[in-house]
């Protein structure tokens, strides 16, 4: 299950190294309609070199829609069909170039096509680099249910180049940064403090890179110990029980938010719950809430929305039986897994969240 993760400032060379190393008969590249426009131009030197080194054999490009709404069984079928009609065999190689939507869907397409072909993820967003591309979770959504169908299938390699982040807008940068905050809370006071002090509004690739490398390694360490989420990996769900409910609620109310924004608000809620249930420090909780409020702003809702949020949490696939499952933190670096809360306790957390966020 161990994945190679490579940070590089020469993405063409890194792709060439891995395509040389992985035996394959045909090469396919999956883009979405954004990454074909913004990222493909950076890969042209590799594509030209590859095609001339392989007697002019074309690298077949597959393009899917660029929204999370496209992470569907229909898009998956399109990818399988493209692979099939362009001669992919069990020995073909797929390179997924994109954010989480592309690496999740492309990874699942590769994991299932002819019972599995090898694939490489080239993460082009901060969120993809720090979370989705790494760790072997692949899948697609089913209606409103996120990642409802999928498998554990590690990429042969995950390639991360901050050159792609130059085209990210600030909100997408913040979206990835929320998962970095989560890794900070899960790892150490020092790393968390570096993240809280980092001037995320004026980020640069150079200054972000050391924080990103550390953050990716936090995730890799967890995945190495528990690749199939039998125990410790549940720690990576911190912020996501509330977070997924917020994300779906926003989508249903036609005001969609980026995943990381929902996670940032979810982290605040789950740290409030951590304080109440397992003694997480209130100072730390306030400090993180302040960072989230200042950088992400608040999510606006009222107590009339609590029922809807509670219903969404009940459908979270992390639950077992009728209990709503939460990953909490007793202190920075010490997760407390498999906690549950009832409707009343969740309502109290939402009340405090609204207070802390000033809404």
Interface with ligand GLY by CB under 6 A: which residues?
131, 135, 137, 233, 236
CA 328 to chain CA centroid, Å, is 19
Nearest to ligand GLY of 135, 335 (CB atom): 135
Task: Measure the CA–CA gap between 98 and 124, rounded to whole angstroms.
Answer: 5
Nearest to ligand GLY of 78, 270 (CB atom): 270
Closest distance of CB 131 from ligand GLY, Å? 5
Nearest to ligand GLY of 135, 356 (CB atom): 135
Nearest to ligand GLY of 92, 187 (CB atom): 187
Closest distance of CB 206 from ligand GLY, Å? 26
Residue 66, both tokens: 């660029």
Strand partners, 94: 28, 119
Given a contact cutoff of 8 angstroms between Cβ atoms, the answer to whether 181 and 291 are in contact is yes
Instruction: Compute φ and ψ for 338, nearest 5 degrees.
Output: 60, 45
Task: Measure the CA–CA gap between 259 and 247, rounded to whole angstroms.
Answer: 7
- For residue 13, give every residue at least 6 positions away whose Cβ sits within 8 Å of its Cβ, in sequence order, or none: none
Given a contact cutoff of 8 angstroms between Cβ atoms, the answer to whether 295 and 268 are in contact is no
Closest distance of CB 121 from ligand GLY, Å? 13
Closest distance of CB 265 from ligand GLY, Å? 17
Residue where the block lists tokens 């912020």: 239
Closest distance of CB 137 from ligand GLY, Å? 5
Nearest to ligand GLY of 19, 125 (CB atom): 125
Closest distance of CB 317 from ligand GLY, Å? 12
Nearest to ligand GLY of 223, 324 (CB atom): 223
Nearest to ligand GLY of 27, 136 (CB atom): 136
Nearest to ligand GLY of 59, 263 (CB atom): 263
Closest distance of CB 17 from ligand GLY, Å? 26
Residue 51 burial class via C-beta count within 10 angstroms: exposed 0-12, middle 13-18, buried 19 and up: middle
How far, in Å, are 15, 232, 302, 318 from residue 143 at the CA level? Answer: 34, 29, 26, 18
Task: Measure the CA–CA gap between 295 and 308, rounded to whole angstroms.
Answer: 26
Closest distance of CB 138 from ligand GLY, Å? 10
Reduced to 3 states, what is the DSSP secondary structure of residue 128?
helix
Task: Measure the CA–CA gap between 298 and 181, rounded to whole angstroms.
Answer: 17
Radius of gyration of the chain (CA): 20
Q: Which residue is nearest to ligand GLY (CB)?
A: 236
């Amino acid at each position: 299950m161990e994945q190679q993760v490579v940070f590089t400032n020469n993405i063409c060379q890194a792709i060439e190294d891995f395509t040389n190393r992985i035996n394959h008969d045909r090469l396919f590249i999956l883009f979405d309609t954004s990454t074909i426009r913004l990222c493909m131009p950076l890969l042209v030197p590799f594509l030209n070199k590859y095609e001339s080194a392989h007697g002019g054999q074309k690298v077949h490009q597959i393009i899917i829609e660029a929204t999370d709404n496209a992470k569907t069984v229909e898009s998956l079928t399109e990818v399988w069909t493209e692979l099939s009609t362009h001669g992919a065999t069990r020995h073909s190689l797929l390179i997924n170039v994109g954010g989480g939507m592309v690496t999740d869907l492309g990874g699942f397409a590769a994991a299932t096509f002819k019972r599995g072909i090898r694939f490489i993820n080239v993460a082009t967003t901060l969120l993809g680099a720090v979370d989705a591309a790494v760790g072997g979770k692949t899948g697609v959504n089913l209606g409103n249910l996120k990642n409802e169908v999928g498998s554990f299938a590690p990429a042969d390699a995950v390639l991360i180049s901050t050159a792609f982040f130059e085209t990210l807008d600030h909100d997408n940068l913040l979206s990835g940064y929320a998962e970095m905050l989560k890794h900070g809370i899960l790892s150490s006071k020092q790393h968390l403090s570096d993240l809280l002090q980092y001037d995320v509004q004026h980020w640069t690739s150079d200054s972000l890179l050391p924080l990103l490398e550390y953050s990716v390694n936090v995730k890799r360490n967890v995945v190495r110990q528990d690749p199939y989420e039998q125990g410790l990996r549940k720690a990576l769900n911190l912020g996501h029980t509330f977070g997924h409910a917020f994300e779906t609620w926003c989508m249903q109310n036609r005001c969609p938010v980026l995943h990381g924004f929902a996670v940032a608000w979810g982290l605040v809620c789950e740290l409030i719950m951590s304080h109440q249930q397992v003694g997480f420090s209130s100072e730390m909780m306030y400090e993180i809430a302040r960072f989230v409020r200042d950088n992400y702003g608040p999510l606006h809702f009222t107590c009339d929305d609590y029922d809807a949020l509670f219903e969404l949490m009940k459908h979270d696939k992390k639950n077992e039986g009728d209990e709503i499952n939460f990953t909490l933190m007793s202190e920075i670096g010490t997760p407390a897994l498999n906690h549950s809360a009832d409707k009343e306790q969740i309502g109290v957390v939402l009340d405090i969240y609204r207070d802390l966020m000033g809404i």
